[in-house]
Structure 1
Amino acid sequence: MKVVPHTARGYVGCALLAAAAVTLPALRPGADTPWQTVLLLAALNTVCEVPARCPLATRSHRRSGRGGAVPVSPLGTVSFFPVLLAAALLLPPAAAALTALPGAVLARVDQPPAGLRRAWRAAELALAVWAAALVGQLLQCPGALGRGALGPDFPYVLLPAAVTALTFCLVLTALDGGIRATAEQMPPRTAWRGLLARSLAPHSVHGLAGLMMAVLWRSGYGPVAALFVLLPMYISCWGFAQYHRERAAHQATIRALVQAVDIKDRYTRGHSERVGHASVLIARELGMPEPRLEVVRFAGILHDVGKLGVPTRVLRKDGPLTPEERRVIELHPEYGHEMVRGIGFLGEARTAILHHHERMDGSGYPYGLKGHEIPEYARVVAVADAFDAMTSTRCYSRARPVGTALAELERCAGTQFDPRMVEALARALDRHGWQTEVTADETTVPAPRTPAPRPASAPPGAQAPAPARERG
């Protein structure tokens, strides 16, 4: 269990005190609190909050390694906001703040300390709804919504509703940045960076849904009609959440496989990620659409996963390989293909794993395919793999300059590599440059990221790149 710093506990305590202060007016004797509306909205919010949590409502994200996004606040979770924004439009500020509390307290918490996380969630949502309702009241939004036969005042109601949703977004962003700064001990500049930009779009969508709920709630049809807005959006949000959970599982699978390869073959650490990056650069230059770019990235990252089936002593051998050892290591494409055969989301990436050591002239392995018999993804990965192998330092070879590596690829285009792929890589490096890195276990300062010079011809005495530069 991660220990929460005292500063974060103090921050949560202050938020709880502030939340108590803004909700108390609704609980005082004689307060004109519309309890029926408060209880109905609180129940709806709880029903939406407890079963599932929706990525569309995520207030902000942080990166987790090279993988996907995770909730930014170490004490927070995500919410389904339309009900709370409808409450901010329909109720007085103190009453609106109350609607957030039951759902926040009862929502599932996956990580300890559960009590502190629930307390933080309740406090920040109560404060955000209270602030949004206060602004909506100042802009006379409840009156603009109309009542019964008297319909809403369109388009005037759109402006106060938009400002109300923006206020909700700003308060949550400010509070989330504060918890990042205190719980994760981030510099203030880093803690708030990018939070508002990532929050505006989902809050705008939820604000519109909240406005539609509020209008129907005030109409002659009553609260039941508001469910016609809430239910479809919640179902859509749930489906989107399922997609993101599946995507996160895919990313976790790939990360686990890559980490296993890196642990087994320490001399090529980071190679898989760079081959994935170079493969995307090539594919983008070829005009591949975004869905194919993701598949080719998977292919590049996992191209060497079959090395898990190769004896470690062969992978880590410092000297030249014997013919028998070479035959063993040349089995790794088939090993890799067998390992990922059942991973459906990889699609065509599986053929790239199997065929990335085939050559255009038919002298490659494992099946000796030639020309366009070799799958396109495999031809992309073959160039990316050889390029990174040549520009990385290994236990058995020193890194070559980017320009020299490109010259080798161009010299071997047509016999070993597809000329289109080599040309695409050269164009991409002209535009983006390349961050050369050392992948052996030694301390070296990486070269600066500068555009790669494109050589006119190969230097004298150049040797064929891939077989000499990387084992397998």
Structure 2
Amino acid sequence: MAGIPARARAYVICVALGALLCLLPPPSAPASWWAAPPLAALYAAGERIARRPFAGTLYPVLLAGAFLLPPHAAALVPLPGALFSAVDQRPFALRRICRAAHLVIAVWAAARLHGALDARDAVEASDFPRVLVPAGAAVLVFCLVLSALDGVILALAEGSPLRRVRRGLFLRSLAPVAVHGLAGLMMAVLWRSPFGPFAALLVLFPMAVSWWVFAQYHRERAAHQATVRALVRAVDIKDGYTRGHSERVGQASMMIGRELGMDEGRVEVLRFAGILHDVGKLGVPTRLLRKDGPLTPEERRVIELHPEYGHEITRGISFLGEARSAILHHHERVDGRGYPYGLVGSQIPECARVVAVADAFDAMTSTRSYSRARPVEAALAELQRCAGSQFDPRMVTALVRVVARDGWHPVVTADETWPAVPSQAPVPDRPGARR
């Protein structure tokens, strides 16, 4: 979202107007504003302290407001914190307005449903388990609305398929928001209890511990990403014609893994495997990668060592896990005619069979100096033709299904301002090139 398209800006204006409507009290609304100012101040203070590493930290406060207040009053709780939150990218004001509008609408929807279920009396009376079902429904609506709104702006700004973006956001956020909803319900019950608002604040202490752990995890994850980016940048500088290829292979590998029903942990490993599958080219002499003309048998054998070089380069990177086996075996063929070891069928690790299909697919659908990009349909047809001999049919079928359903929309985040390295285009007969 570095450059916000006009359609995204128009969407932000519309959603901001919708948020303003949510803040208007209906004519017969009771003046139940007593908890809104302290909750809004608590949310704003928490967001300023937590900043970006703890995105979504104070959702318990927002949901407590939805359980305690009428919709128009609950919608005020996120407003100050979102409008004055820390933003990393321009345009700052537009991003703050968009975030504030999304949270206002989501909290309003949750409070509206919670009130429609007549659950506020149960909260005041601490009537368990009667409070659980309405609270759960309100949390689900909060998550659905927020995921839908965030998905729309991401789709408009980045051009990603709306259905896929919304589904991914909802599935990733449902479990954390459910935990936050339970904490918000505890805050609301304690707030209305004889112990008062100060007792409700105690709920945030165990949450703070989990937020700290979450932040540590994200710092470690950021370090992993930096390591991978550094390796990919080194490969792209040495072999410039593949720039963007590695990230697209990682994206296609993730699509195949999700279609096969793999858990998100393995899907993340597949992404690393796809991004780093050619890292072994760092061990191949640059003159061979840039050679203008056919390779001799000896030169071909040297280039065919790049999977083993990649395996050795990544030996000490423990978080890659089974991605290292994909780096080593992504040029194996199921008929045993691949390299480096000529493995057959199921002897080839599953992640390597996934990356092999993703690698071939991107090579065929990308324009090279020696060949024009094929249409996606033609590339998929070629993969199906080679299924059972060169590629695992399961992986090919999974890619065909997911591309037919979601399309192929590669998103490359690599820095396009890297210094260009003059290089000669590789000829089609060298290892790894697909005709």
Question: Normalised by the size of structure 2, how large is the TM-score?
Answer: 0.67
- The 8 Å contact of residues 141 and 157 in structure 1, kept in 2 or not, is answered as yes
1:315 lines up with 2:313 in the alignment? no
Name the structure 2 match of 1:41: 39
- The separation in 1 between residues aligned to 2:218 and 2:288, in whole angstroms, is 39
Give 1:152-167 correspondences, 5 Å limit: 152-167=126-141
Provide the rounded CA distance (Å) in 1 between the counterparts of 2:138 and 2:99. Answer: 20
Question: Aligned partners of 1:308, 1:184: CA distance in 2, in Å?
Answer: 32
CA deviation after TM superposition for structure 1 residue 221, in Å = 1.8
- Distance of 2:248 and 2:15 partners within structure 1: 42
Name the aligned partner's letter for residue 194 of structure 2.
G
C-alpha separation in 2, matches of 1:348 and 1:187: 30
Provide Cα deviations, 1:353-392, integer angstroms capped at 9, x if missing partner: xxxxxxxxxxxxxxxxxxxxxxxx5xx754334x2xxxxx
Q: Any unmatched runs of 5+ in structure 2?
A: 257-262, 391-429
8 Å Cα contact 2:155-2:161 kept in structure 1: yes
CA distance in 1 between counterparts of 2:355 and 2:387 reads 8
What is the CA–CA distance in structure 2 between the aligned matches of 1:131 and 1:333, rounded to whole Å? 53
Residue pairs, 1:320-399, within 5 angstroms: 320=295, 345=319, 377=325, 381-385=327-331, 387=332
* Structure 1 CA distance for aligned equivalents of residues 192 and 431 of structure 2: 72
1:264 aligns with 2:263: no
Structure 2 counterpart of 1:424, from 332, 335, 347:
347
1:84 deviates by 0.3
Aligned to 1:408: 337
Asked if 2 retains the 8 angstrom alpha-carbon contact of 1:272 and 1:303, the reply is no
Q: 1:294 to 1:159 in 2, by over 3 A?
A: closer
Inter-partner Cα distance in structure 1 for 2:98 and 2:25? 21
Counterparts of 1:97 and 1:381, CA distance in 2: 50
| Equivalent position amino acid for 1:425 in 2 | I
TM-score by length of 1: 0.63
CA distance in 1 between counterparts of 2:107 and 2:264 reads 38
Q: Which moved more, 1:99-108 or 1:2-11?
A: 2-11
1:453 counterpart = 2:409: no
Match of 1:95 among 73, 76, 84: 73
Shift of 1:305: 3.4
Q: Which moved more, 1:2-11 or 1:94-103?
A: 2-11
CA contact (8 A) 2:246 2:277 kept: no
C-alpha separation between the residues in 1 aligned to 2:157 and 2:268? Answer: 34
Greater shift in the superposed pair: 231-240 or 152-161? 231-240
Distance 1:34 1:215 in 2: 17
Identity of aligned residues (%): 51
Give the superposition deviation at 1:134: 2.2
Tell me how far 1:277 sits from its aligned partner.
Answer: 9.1
- Residues 281 and 309, structure 2, Cα contact 8 Å, conserved in 1: yes
Matching residue of 1:111: 89
Counterpart CA distance in 2 for 1:205 and 1:83 is 12
* Aligned position for 1:19: 19
Using the TM superposition, name which of 187-196 and 37-46 deviates more: 187-196
Q: CA deviation at 1:39?
A: 2.3
Q: 1:348 to 1:171 in 2, by over 3 A?
A: closer
Q: CA deviation at 1:237?
A: 2.6
Aligned twin of 1:361: none
Write the distance in 1 (CA, Å) between the matches of 2:115 and 2:247: 56
Structure 2 counterpart SS, 1:51 = helix
Is the 8 Å Cα contact of residues 236 and 242 (structure 2) preserved in structure 1?
A: yes
How is 1:271-310 mapped onto 2 (pairs within 5 angstroms)? 302=276, 305=279, 307-308=281-282
Give the greater-gyration-radius structure (CA). Answer: 1
Could you tell me which runs of 5 or more consecutive residues in structure 1 were left unpaired when the two chains were aligned.
58-77, 282-288, 353-376, 388-401, 456-467
1:4 aligned partner: 4
Matched, 1:208 2:182: yes
Counterpart position of 2:115: 137
Q: 2: distance between equivalents of 1:336 and 1:246?
A: 23
CA RMSD of aligned residues (A): 4.8
Check the 8 A contact 1:53/1:241 in 2, yes or no.
no
Q: CA deviation at 1:291?
A: 7.3
